[in-house]
Amino acid sequence: MALDGKLLALARKQLEDIRHHNEDAQAAHRQEVYARLPRVQQIDTALRGQMRELAGLTLWGGKAVSEDLAKLEAENLQLQQERRTLITAAGYPADYTDDRYNCPNCRDTGYTDGRMCSCLRRIYNALVTQQLSTLLRGDERFSKFDLGLYPDLPNENGNNPRECMAIIRDFCEAYARQFDGRGPNLAFSGGPGLGKTFLSACIAKVVSENGWSVAYDSASACLGAFEKERFSRDPEEKSAAVATVRQYLSCDLMILDDLGTEMSTPAAQSALYTLVNSRLTAGKQTIISTNLSERELEQQYTPQIASRLLGEYQWLHFLGTDIRRR
Tell me which residues touch ligand ATP (CB under 6 A). Answer: 145-146, 149, 192-198, 258, 291, 323-324
Q: Which residue is nearest to ligand ATP (CB)?
A: 195
Among 103, 135, 202, 254, binds Zn ion (CB under 5 A): 103
Partner in contact with 149, chosen from Mg ion, Zn ion, ligand ATP, none, beta carbon below 5 to 8 Å by kind: ligand ATP
Q: Which stretch binds Mg ion (CB under 5 A): 90-98, 163-171, 188-196, 276-284?
A: 188-196
Among residues 294, 300, 323, the alpha carbon closest in space to that of 187 is found at 294
131 binds Mg ion (CB under 5 A): no
- Nearer Cβ to Zn ion, position 119 or 297? 119
Strands 111-112 vs 115-116: parallel, antiparallel or unpaired: antiparallel
- Nearer Cβ to Mg ion, position 154 or 192? 192
- Nearer Cβ to Zn ion, position 126 or 167? 126
119 binds Zn ion (CB under 5 A): yes
CB of 141 to ligand ATP, least distance (A): 10
- Nearer Cβ to ligand ATP, position 197 or 232? 197
122 binds Zn ion (CB under 5 A): no
- Nearer Cβ to ligand ATP, position 233 or 325? 325
CB of 106 to Zn ion, least distance (A): 3
- Nearer Cβ to Mg ion, position 5 or 138? 138
CB of 108 to Zn ion, least distance (A): 7
Partner in contact with 291, chosen from Zn ion, Mg ion, ligand ATP, none, beta carbon below 5 to 8 Å by kind: ligand ATP
Q: Give the chain as a 3 state SS string.
A: CCCHHHHHHHHHHHHHHHHHHHHHHHHHHHHHHHHHCHHHHHHHHHHHHHHHHHHHHHHHCCHHHHHHHHHHHHHHHHHHHHHHHHHHHCCCCCCCCCCCCCCCCCCCCCEECCEECHHHHHHHHHHHHHHHHHHHHCCCCHHHCCHHHCCCCCCCCCCCHHHHHHHHHHHHHHHHHCCCCCCCEEEEECCCCCCHHHHHHHHHHHHHHCCCCEEEEEHHHHHHHHHHHHHCCCHHHHHHHHHHHHHHHHCCEEEEEEECCCCCCHHHHHHHHHHHHHHHHCCCEEEEEECCCHHHHHHHCCHHHHHHHHHHEEEEECCCCCHHHC
CB of 96 to ligand ATP, least distance (A): 55
- Nearer Cβ to Mg ion, position 20 or 141? 141
11 binds Zn ion (CB under 5 A): no
Residues that bind Zn ion (CB under 5 A): 103, 105-106, 117, 119
